[in-house]
A and B are shown apart, each in its own frame.
Chain A
Amino acid sequence: MSTSTASARLSEWMPRIVLAPSFVLAFLFIYGLMAWNGYLSLSASRLLPNYEFVGLEQYETLWESERWWVALKNLAIFGGLFLFFGMAIGLLLAILLDQKIRAEGVLRTIYLYPMALSFIVTGTAWKWILNPGLGLEKVMHEWGWTSFGFDWLVNPERAIYTIVIAGVWQSSGFVMALFLAGLRGIDDSILKAAQIDGASLPRIYWRIIIPSLRPVFFSTLMVLSHLAIKSFDLVMALTAGGPGYATDMPATFMYTMAFSRGQIGLGAASATIMLATVAAIVVPYLYSELRSRS
C-alpha cells in the first residue's frame, strides 16, 4: 500500500521535477544574469569586473557620452525608417499577393528568403553593392548617368541609411508573411457583403480589411521594434559602426565598450538601458496576450 502511495506521489510530482532543471537554468540565465549585469552597471568595473559599488556613476558617464547620443540618434533614425518602410512594403506585398496571383508560392519564396540568411551574409553582399566606385555607382556610369554619385557607405552623414536599406530588404518579406496570414484569416462573407453593396476594392481594403488587421499590426510592430533595438549583426557587417562611430547603435556601443574598450561598467549600463527599452515595449504586449488567452 505504501509503495503505491509513494509512486502516486512521485507521478504527481513528476511534471515539476521534469520542468525544474531547464527552468532553473533558463531563469538563472534570464533573470540571474540580468540582475548581475545590473549590478555590474553600478560598479566601478573597467577592464576587469570590479565589484566596488559606485552608484549611478556609470549611467552619468553614459548620458554624458557623445558617442552614446550618436547611437541613440541612429537608433531613432534607423528604427523609424525601418518600421515605416518595412511595414509599408510588407503590407503592400501581402495585399498584392492576395489578389489570386498564379505564381504566389514562387513570389512568396523570393520575398522571404532573406530571412533565412544571416545579416552577416547579406551585409557582406550589400557592402559590395553599395561600394562607392565599383558598385552601383559604376553600373549607373556605364548606363550613361555619369554624374551619379553614391558614397553613402563611407559618408558619415549618410551611412546610417545604407543600414536602413539592407534592414528593410531583409525584413519586409517577413512582414509580408505575417500580414498575409492575417489576410487569409479574414471572414469572406463580410467582404462579399461589401462587394454586393457596391463598395470599390480600395475602399474595402481601407475601410474593412486593414482595420481588421489591427492585431497583426501590433504584433508586427512589436517584433520589428525589438529587432531594431537589438540590431547588431547588420551594423557590424555593413559599416562596423563607422565611419568613425557615425553608425554606432546601442548594441554596437555596448559591444565596443564591454569587449574592446575595457569599459565593462559602461557597457553594462548601456545594456541595462537597452533592456529597459525592450521591456517597455514587450511586457505590456505579453501581458495583454496572456490575459486575453486565459
Chain B
Amino acid sequence: MSAAAVHPGRFDWHRLALWSVLLLFAAFFLLPMYVMLTTSLKDMEQIRAGNLLSLPTAPGFAAWDKAWHHACTGIDCGGLKPFFMNSVLMVIPAVLISTLLGAINGYVLAKWRFKGSELMFALMLFGVFMPMQVVLLPMSQVLGWIGIASSIWGLVLVHIIAGLPSTTLFFRNYYVGLPDELVKAAMLDGAGFWRIFWRIILPLSTPITVVTLIWQFTNIWNDFLYGIVFSGAGSKPVTVGLNNLANTTSSVKEYNVDMAAALIAGLPTLVVYIVAGKYFVRGLTAGAVKG
C-alpha cells in the first residue's frame, strides 16, 4: 500500500515528523533493554555515583558472574544456574512432544475429517484462551496422585497438555491450505494414513513446524504461573528463580545482579527472536487471527 507522496531532493517536514515519532518510540521500547544492559555492567559504586542512563565508567561482568553462580534466592545462594538448567530440561521434551502431537492432530483435523471432528476442534480452541487459574487447584492434586508433583516431569506434562490446543490449531490451519488432491492421489497409489503423513505431509511442514517450535519454546520458557504453582524445591524454572532473586530482601539491594539475572533469564528467547523473528511474529498473528 502506498500512501505517502515522496518528493526526492526536497526537505519534507512530514517525513521529519514521521521519523521523530518513530524514533521516539524506538527509544521508549529500547530504554529498559539499555538500562538492563548498562546496569548489569556496573558495580554498586558506579550505580550510586551515576544514574539510570549513565554509561558504566568501568564496565565489568562481576554482576553476571554473581547472578549465575552465587546470587541468593531466599536462603539458598547458588545463583540462577540451577533454575536455568531446570528450564532447559523442562523446555526440550515439552516443546518437542507438544509440537509432534499438534502436527498429528492437525493432520487428522484437516485431511481426515470425520463426523464431529470440527466440533471437537472448536471445543479444543477454548483451551487457547481459558484462564489457567481454573486448572491450577485440581491439577496440583492430579500431579500428586500420579506421583510427579513438584518435579520437572510434572511441569513437562502440564506444558504438553496446555500447549496442545495451540499446536493443534497452528498445524490444522496450515494443513487446511494444502491441496486435498495430494492426499487423494497418494491414497490411489495405495499409501495409508501414516505413509501419507511421513512421506507427503511432513516434508511440506517445515515453515509451520518452525513457527510452532518457536512459539512453544517462547511460551514455555517464559511461563511463570505453572512454574510457581507446580514446581518444588529442586525443579523451579528460571522465571521463578529470577522472581525470587529479585524479591529477596537483603541488606543491600544489588540492582546490577538483578539486571544481569533478568538478562540471563531472557537471553534464550531473545536470541531466538533475533535469529528467527519472522517465524515468531507469524506465530503471534496466527494465535490471534484464526484463518
Contacts and interface: CB of A to CB of B under 8 A. Distances in A.
Interface in A60-102: 89, 92-93, 96-101
Nearest to B132: A230
A294 B118 contact: yes
Most buried by A among B32, B112, B125, B134: B134
From DSSP, what is the main secondary structure of chain B's interface residues? helix
B13 interface: no
Given A33-B138, A96-B21, A124 B246 contact: yes
A210 interface: no
Given A26-B127, A121-B266, A19 B105 contact: yes
Given A125-B262, A229-B131, A15 B114 contact: yes
B104 interface: yes
Given A101-B22, A271-B136, A120 B242 contact: yes
A46 interface: no
A48 to B, nearest CB: 10
A216 B263 CA distance: 33
Given A120-B243, A278-B131, A142 B164 contact: no
B131 A275 contact: yes
B215 to A, nearest CB: 11
B85 interface: no
Given A204-B3, A251-B131, A116 B114 contact: no
A110 B228 CA distance: 30
Contacts of A201: 3-4
A50 interface: no
A278 B53 CA distance: 40
B131 A191 contact: no
A258 interface: yes
Interface in A100-155: 100-101, 107, 109-122, 124-129, 131, 134-136, 138-139, 142
Contacts of B75: none
B18 interface: yes
B272 A116 contact: yes
Contacts of B53: 139
Interface size class of A (residues with CB under 8 A): 35 or more
Interface in B58-112: 101, 104-105, 108-109, 112
Given A18-B193, A278-B130, A126 B32 contact: yes
A92 to B, nearest CB: 8
Contacts of B246: 124, 127, 237
A116 B273 contact: yes
A272 to B, nearest CB: 7
B240 to A, nearest CB: 8
B134 A111 contact: no
Nearest to B123: A27
B1 A233 contact: no
Contact of A16 (B114, B135, B139): B114
Interface stretch (B147-155, B201-209, B283-291): B283-291
Nearest to B285: A181
A62 to B, nearest CB: 13
A22 B105 contact: yes
A26 B124 contact: yes
Contact of A135 (B6, B52, B261): B52
B32 A267 contact: no
Smallest CB-CB A-B distances: 4 pairs: A118-B222, A116-B273, A15-B112, A121-B266
Given A113-B270, A186-B1, 18 more contacts: A11-B192, A26-B161, A29-B127, A30-B123, A30-B124, A34-B135, A36-B137, A109-B274, A109-B277, A115-B280, A118-B224, A125-B33, A128-B259, A129-B32, A191-B1, A219-B289, A251-B131, A275-B133
Interface of A: 11, 14-16, 18-19, 22-23, 25-27, 29-34, 36-37, 40, 49, 89, 92-93, 96-101, 107, 109-122, 124-129, 131, 134-136, 138-139, 142, 169, 173-174, 177-178, 181, 183-184, 186, 188, 191, 201, 204-205, 215-216, 219-220, 223, 226, 229-230, 232-233, 236-237, 240, 250-251, 254-255, 258-259, 264, 267-268, 270-272, 274-275, 278-279, 282-283, 286, 289-290, 293-294
